[in-house]
Structures are given as C-alpha cells and as structure tokens.
Chain A
Amino acid sequence: MSAALSGEDRAESIRMIRDSAAAVAPPGGDMKRVRDLRFQTPGFDPAVLRQMGEMGWIGLRLPEAAGGAGLGLGEACALAEELGAALVPEPLIPAMLTGSLLAAVGAGPLDRVLSGEALVLTAWQERPDTLDVPGSPDAPRRFLPMAAGAASFLLPVREGGRIALYEQQAGAGLTTEQTQDGGHLGTLEPSLATATRIADDIGEALSLALDEAALLTSAYLLGGMDRAFAMTLDYLKTRQQFGRIIGTFQALQHKAADVRMQIALTRASIEAAAATLDDGATGDARRAVISRAKARAAASSMLVTRECIQLHGGIGYTDQYDVGLYLRKAMVMANLYGSAALHRRRFMAVSPEVEE
C-alpha cells in the first residue's frame, strides 16, 4: 500500500506522476485548447476525460482491488498541481470524489466512472460555502461543476439517521450558469421517483471524499499560482520602462518576494497535509491539516493571481494575455469545498491549542 512507501520511493513515485501529467498538461500548458473550450458546452473534452481514466488518474487513490492505482495523496496532489498549472478544464477532482464514494459503497457505475467513459457528479451541496450534507430529498443540488457534461448524478438523501445514495440520470431538471473561467455550475432538481437507490449509508465515505477533494483543489490552485508567478517573473525580467528592466525596481522586487513566500507556505501546507493523511491520520487530525491547506490555498491563490495582474500592468488586464486566465480560475476554484473563512472556523473547532 502506498502509505508504506519510504521517503525516497515516495519522491520517485511523485516524480513519475508529474511526468505522466504531461500527457494532458504539456509543459507550459496548452492554452489554445483551454481557450477553445471556454464558454462552450460542456466546457471540457470528454475524450481527455477518458484519457485520464485510461491513465488511472480517476481511480488514483483507490485500492487496486477496487480498480484503482493504490497511490497516496502525495501523488494525487502532485497530479492536481500539474493540471492546475496547465488550467486543465476536465473535472478530474469531482470525478475522483464520485469514484471514492462508489468504491467505498461497492455499488453503482464505478467502472464507467473510473474509465472516464461517463462523468458522474455527486450532487451533495444544497447551499453556498459549506461542507455539510443535509441530504434533503427535495432541495435543489447546487454548484455542480461542468454539470452539462454529466451522464448522471449521485444524490445523498437523508433517511432516518443515515445518508443513502441515489443515482439520477441526466436529462430533466438541470440548469447551468457560466463561470469566470469559461466553465459552468449546474443546479439539479432532484427527482427521487425516477432515481435508483444504490447505497444505504455513505455519510462517512462522503465526508472523507469531500476532504480529499478540498485538498486536491488546494493543489490545483497551487499549480495555477506557481505558473502565473513564473510568467510574471519572466515579464519582470524583460519589460522595460524608464530605460530599465522593471524587475530592477525594489518596490516590485519586494512584492515578488512576498508572492514567492505565499507560494512556499502554500506548498509546505499542502505537502504536510498530504503526508499527514498518507501516514494514516483520521478524524480531527485529518480535518485540521486539510482545513489549514485549503484556507491557505484559497487565500493565497487570490492574492498571488491578483498581484500577478498588478505586476504585469495594463497587459495583465487583457483577456488575450494568459495570466488573467489564472485569476479567473482562482475566482472559481478558491471557494470550492469550503472558503478560507469556513476552513479557518473548522480549523479552530478541531485544533484549538497551540503546540509550543
């Protein structure tokens, strides 16, 4: 099992997954593909999602017995980071969440999800900025990323003290709203009468899957801020004003140093969280490190991408220049699976004491 890997083997395994990410996220990204998919329906390329399935990414975290690759969160975060650097629009993280859920209950369309043949979205959310799953039978399920491309939806529904799971085929009852990054969020009206009940009790599995999705989202944001800053540094080293390279100005140098520190803290926080979970942390210990990482990534992704626009000046405000794509992506992803404020509250609730 992945958690037993030694430090060196883990580093090698992470290096391999980063290399393999190039199949979908080439070095420097494929910004033409990203731009071509913006504001289209479904906003991603189903063939690329299938490719992700073939490469074993959707089941990356699942045990081999369940059709997965049996890898740890260290590897999964490295992969998400590479995809974030290239702004890959395919909804891998929601697909992984669904895969974890189905593998945990041993039911439903797991094979089709893991192969990337079908996008199945877990429709757990009923209100903004929450990690709670009330499971109301009739409440619209909201904020479903890339919902127009989904073949079906999984609906958690509270029955007595438990959360059961239903599968509802796509078709009626879905509306969508476009998002800043060129994707969209869907709202689904549940229709339990036509849905299939596939599991009795998914509460614990779903809460774990949501936590992992929060961490992977953090890693995706890290990849994006890192790449946006690299572009910005290149710009600071070439752009001239007042007869000088603008990167020689101390005001800009210090801003750049501050951005670099935010990125370093974000990376340290995410890697610590992944390592803590790969070492087997559960319960509050798990929630504490994930909330730390997500609070950091949400806040720093916005700070870094904002500063990258500012450091570029006017060119950064044009849609044609790629750095703006990173800001728009951060606007959409920073608050997914809990905003910074939500995760700060949760962190304090589960980890009230300082260890001196």
Chain B
Amino acid sequence: MDAIRIPAPAELDALEDEHFRQVVRAFLHENYPDDLRNPPKRLHWDENRPWYMKLAERGWLCPGWPKEHGGLGLSPAKQIILTEEYERYGVARTNDHGIVMLGPLVIKYGTEEQKGRFLPKILTGEHIWCQGYSEPNAGSDLAALRTEAVLDGDEYVVNGQKIWTTLATDANWIFLLVRTDKQAKKQEGISFLLVDMKTPGITVRPIINLEMHDEFCEVFFDNVRVPKENLVGQLNKGWDMAKALLGFERIFLGSPRQSGYALSRLKILAERMGVWEDAEFQDRYARLRLEFEDLKALYGTFVEKLKRGESLGADVSMLKILQTELFQAITDTMLEIAGENAGLLEPMEGNRDLNIGGLFIQARPATIYGGSNEIQRNILAKNVLGLPG
C-alpha cells in the first residue's frame, strides 16, 4: 500500500473527499487492531479500550464535535465517509454514548462550566457514558417515563428504574431523562440529568439477551442524590433537547452494510449446503440481492442530500425499516437452507462465515431498537404521508 501521509486532526476537514477516504483507510490500516475486525458481538470496554484510547491519543475520537471542543469538526458528508470506511474495515463500535449523544448535547445546551467539566473527560476516556432513556413501561412510548427527580435543597433526589441501558456495567456516568413535573403534559415534564454511577443508591443488573450476551442492563435508582448543577439545559425541556439531537446520524440505522455482509455469507452457506445452483434458490437469492441493491440506491439518495447540506426528513425512517427487514429475511433464508445446522449455538464447522444461528439472532433486535419498525411506520404514515390521527 502506498504510504499516505495522515494529516493533523485539524486539517482533516479541509481535505478533498476522495483524499479524505484514502486517509481514513490508511489510518485504520495503521492503527486498528486486527483481532477486533468484524467482532461477532458488541464489545465491552475492556475489549475495545485499546482502540478507544488510540483514537483519543490521535485526536480522532470525536469526528462530529467542533474543533474548539477537541473534535475533528467534520461535515456530515465527511462523517459519512468516515463511517463507510469504518464499516468496510469491520471496525467495532466503542462505548460511544459520550461521543455521539452526550457530547453534542452538552455542546449545544450545556453551560460553560458543564462543557469544561465533562467534554475533556470524554476525550481522555476517563468518563465512559451510558444512556438512561427507556424504562419498563416507557419503551416505544418513551415520553411515558416515570423515573422522577425531586429537588431537595441543592440536590435532585432520583427514584425509578431504567432498562435496556447498553453497556451500563462499563460506564462510570449515565445521562438520564427524568420526570420533573408530573402535572404537565407528558413531553413537557421531562428534564436531562447527568449522574455519576458511583453515587450511593444506584444498582446495575445485566440482562442476558438472546445472543447470550450481557450487552443490556437494568439500572435502579433508590434515593440517588444528584447535585442540581448536573441538570443540562432548562428544567422540563429535556424531551425537546433529546429529540433535537436526533440528527443525520439516523441514516446509519439504515446503512445497508449489515445486509451486504449477511448476503455474502448466505452465498457461502448455500455453496456449502449444495443448493447454490438450484433454480429455486437462485430466484430467492436474486430477490434478496435486488432488495439490497435498490436499498443501496435509496440510501445513496439520502447520502447525496446530506452532501448537498440538506437535512434529513422523516422519510429517512424508510431506510431503517427496509434495511432491518432485509437483514432478517436474509438470515431467515440461512436457517431454512442450513438443515439441522440451523440450531447450532456456535458457527458451523468453526467457520465464522457460517455463523448461521448467531446472525439470525443478531438480526432480531434490529427491528426493535432505535424506534421499532412499527413506530417507524407510524412516523411515515403521519409525517410523510400526512395521514391523520
């Protein structure tokens, strides 16, 4: 590979797009640990820490943050290129809630004191954040959340329970949506609060999911006292703030990459099972291929919009629905052609390309998280098609 000079972080945004892409490739080649490529499961902090710290050390940790806060200040177009290259290289997700969610929120709504207190510690890896939004009775209907924070002197007292908190066992800080006004309309009584996980009264309990993995947790709050200066933005405006932050990153939920990966594994499996040449299988595979290719084309039209500097509309929900349902259809097909191998816990013949049951299970939550596909269809119906009620 030709040696490509990797410019200083502050210079990256000024590069021409194709040059930038080459720089990202070279950066990954040089810095990304080989044994972490395409991990079959979401990695824990102890596993992805070396990569996180490498990013921190090179100044590449926060691509979307403005430069004055230690980010790369990349345009949406460049962030998409970066993500495409990470996906292509099989880069694992880090414990990125501080980078992707909290940082941008503090930058937008936080006080100077909060910015100074929290942003540098994300950049050094000292603070690892998790997101406390969902609750047992507030999933798709998130605004129904009931974990409450009551002001008592200079502190909020938090009581309640969060669930599906990704990698909470790894985190030392959590950002919460909490109810601060029980009388107001449900969206208008919610505030945004930052909590140190070491505060007395917090209990974290891992949940083992269908992948037999402890990615999610329950987090319990029992009279947890939080300094009132940890409230971000205005009281009772937390819902609007969290919503305003759902920016162009939503496009990544519809990235066709997972389906592309699964499709090529389906072919390997079909060849191994001796059905690849069957006309019936060929037609099924062709249908999936064409779904994938057309989804890529549709995804491309949204990427082009972002590159022109336009913001995304509610119709981006289409990508999420199409990608996740295609991913599932591909893994359904894998199970159908695999015979008894469909039920194996580990990859067939010890070959990671034949991870039949594993991929099938991984495809399940995709239609649930990030706004279930039923919610996404509601969004399309109301906000894109203008249907009433």
Q: Compute how far the CA of A258 lies from the CA of B322 in the bound complex, rounded to whole angstroms.
A: 10
Is B30 close to A, CB under 8 A? no
Is B15 close to A, CB under 8 A? no
Contact: B289 with A347, CB < 8 Å? yes
Contact: B318 with A256, CB < 8 Å? no
Is B127 close to A, CB under 8 A? no
Is B1 close to A, CB under 8 A? no
Is B386 close to A, CB under 8 A? yes
Contact: B290 with A268, CB < 8 Å? no
Interface SS majority for chain B: helix
A248 to B, closest residue via Cβ: B389
Q: Compute how far the CA of A189 lies from the CA of B374 in the bound complex, rounded to whole angstroms.
A: 56
User: B30-87: which residues lie under 8 A (CB-CB) from chain A?
Assistant: none
Q: Compute how far the CA of A260 lies from the CA of B298 in the bound complex, rounded to whole angstroms.
A: 13
Q: Compute how far the CA of A355 lies from the CA of B290 in the bound complex, rounded to whole angstroms.
A: 12
Q: Which of A245, A247, A356 contacts B264 (CB 8 A)?
A: A356
Evaluate whether A256 and B300 lie within 8 angstroms (CB atoms) in the complex, with A292-B290, A348-B286 already known.
no
Contact: B88 with A256, CB < 8 Å? no
Q: Compute how far the CA of A254 lies from the CA of B387 in the bound complex, rounded to whole angstroms.
A: 11
Is B369 close to A, CB under 8 A? no
Is B203 close to A, CB under 8 A? no
Contact: B294 with A296, CB < 8 Å? yes
B287 to A, closest residue via Cβ: A344
Residues of B near A351 (CB, < 8 A) are 289
Q: Which of A237, A244, A257, A295 contacts B290 (CB 8 A)?
A: A295
A295 to B, closest residue via Cβ: B290
Is B377 close to A, CB under 8 A? yes
Evaluate whether A257 and B380 lie within 8 angstroms (CB atoms) in the complex, with A248-B388, A265-B298 already known.
yes
User: A326-356: which residues lie under 8 A (CB-CB) from chain B?
Assistant: 341, 344-345, 347-348, 351, 354-356
Contact: A341 with B283, CB < 8 Å? yes
Q: Encode B229-245 as 1/0 by CB contact (under 8 A) with A.
A: 00000000000000000
Contact: B294 with A348, CB < 8 Å? no
Interface size of A by Cβ–Cβ distance < 8 Å? 35
Is B321 close to A, CB under 8 A? yes
Interface size class of B (residues with CB under 8 A): 35 or more
User: A258-291: which residues lie under 8 A (CB-CB) from chain B?
Assistant: 258, 260-261, 264-266, 268-269, 271-272
Is B384 close to A, CB under 8 A? yes
Contact: B263 with A247, CB < 8 Å? no
Max chain A C-beta neighbours (<10 A), residue from B257, B285, B297? B297
Q: Encode B247-274 as 1/0 by CB contact (under 8 A) with A.
A: 0000000000100110110010000000
Q: Which of B295, B385, B389 contacts A233 (CB 8 A)?
A: B385
| B330 CB to nearest chain A CB (Å) | 11
User: B275-309: which residues lie under 8 A (CB-CB) from chain A?
Assistant: 282-283, 285-287, 289-295, 297-298, 300-301
Q: Compute how far the CA of A351 lies from the CA of B267 in the bound complex, rounded to whole angstroms.
A: 13
Residues of B near A354 (CB, < 8 A) are 260, 263-264, 267, 289, 292
B389 to A, closest residue via Cβ: A248
Contact: A268 with B298, CB < 8 Å? yes
Contact: B301 with A268, CB < 8 Å? yes
Residues of B near A236 (CB, < 8 A) are 387
User: A204-261: which residues lie under 8 A (CB-CB) from chain B?
Assistant: 233, 236-237, 244-245, 247-248, 250, 252-254, 256-258, 260-261
| A339 CB to nearest chain B CB (Å) | 12
A296 to B, closest residue via Cβ: B294
Contact: A254 with B374, CB < 8 Å? yes
Q: Compute how far the CA of A253 lies from the CA of B374 in the bound complex, rounded to whole angstroms.
A: 10
Q: Compute how far the CA of A253 lies from the CA of B387 in the bound complex, rounded to whole angstroms.
A: 7
Residues of B near A257 (CB, < 8 A) are 321, 377, 380-381, 384-385
B261 to A, closest residue via Cβ: A356
Contact: B322 with A256, CB < 8 Å? no
Contact: B260 with A237, CB < 8 Å? no
Is B315 close to A, CB under 8 A? yes
Residues of A near B388 (CB, < 8 A) are 237, 245, 247-248
Q: Which of B264, B290, B377 contacts A253 (CB 8 A)?
A: B377
Residues of B near A296 (CB, < 8 A) are 290, 294
Evaluate whether A264 and B315 lie within 8 angstroms (CB atoms) in the complex, with A256-B385, A341-B283, A354-B264 already known.
yes
Known: A347-B286, A348-B285, A356-B257. 14 other contacts (CB 8 A): A247-B389, A248-B387, A248-B388, A256-B387, A257-B380, A257-B381, A265-B294, A272-B300, A292-B290, A341-B283, A344-B286, A345-B282, A354-B267, A356-B260
Which residues in A have some Cβ–Cβ distance to B below 8 Å?
Answer: 233, 236-237, 244-245, 247-248, 250, 252-254, 256-258, 260-261, 264-266, 268-269, 271-272, 292, 295-296, 341, 344-345, 347-348, 351, 354-356
Of the A-B pairs whose beta carbons lie under 8 Å apart in the complex, a sample of 29, sorted by A's number, is A233-B387, A248-B388, A250-B381, A252-B387, A253-B382, A253-B385, A254-B377, A256-B385, A256-B387, A257-B321, A257-B380, A258-B377, A264-B315, A265-B322, A268-B297, A268-B300, A272-B297, A292-B293, A295-B290, A296-B290, A296-B294, A344-B283, A345-B283, A347-B289, A348-B285, A354-B263, A354-B264, A355-B260, A356-B257
